[in-house]
Structure 1
């Protein structure tokens, strides 16, 4: 598995995106797993940890396919702080909030790539001025298109 922020990936998956990959079926799942394994879908280490904590069985099934795990760098933390400041939201610290969305957005923004996520999360990332797409749309527009 490649670790680090220097990998050339086409998009970044957040926790919801990982869940949607694990829950996908048929050809869509095959295509998504191929892109995870080839490194075209990068996974922030913080999103992977959250996914493992929330869905251990699904994480175990996806683990062999995750080839690019993006470790956090100082620039990503600074970018997340800028996004939070721009949104005037601060860093929420609820029981289940490790600011994974802010860190994922920062990585995607700095690498100029979209975030693949659930349909419900797309608007969250767009409010952070990030490119975001649900998995089916990403496959149609970026992979097939």
Structure 2
């Protein structure tokens, strides 16, 4: 009987002295971050597509759209997701004036002739930085053999 009491006392003492150390190790906060990537597409010739190209032209005149009126798609990576919004008139898309570290917006303009123009932006505290630009001219009947 005394052996059982001694074993129980040792087990109790061990759990009381080790328990808080284990609990403290598990209590460290975990830093988690959720990133959401979304894709939105507007048809060629739409008012929304034109407003997106105007946004690009206003911010990056050196890489203003070469083509216009194509199907526009936006891939947007956000840390705290916010939907794309329309202006008060409801006819244009309002893109954010600035992004945060880790956020990105890629805008692609696809023309019926196969031309593709793409702008990739990354968020910085003061706005968006253009990090990549591509233009590929499409195939026209005159250039085919």
Q: Which has the larger radius of gyration?
A: 2
Bigger share in strand:
2
Bigger share in helix:
1
TM-score (norm 1): 0.24
Looking at both structures, which has the greater relative contact order when contacts are Cα pairs under 8 Å and sequence separation is at least 6? 1
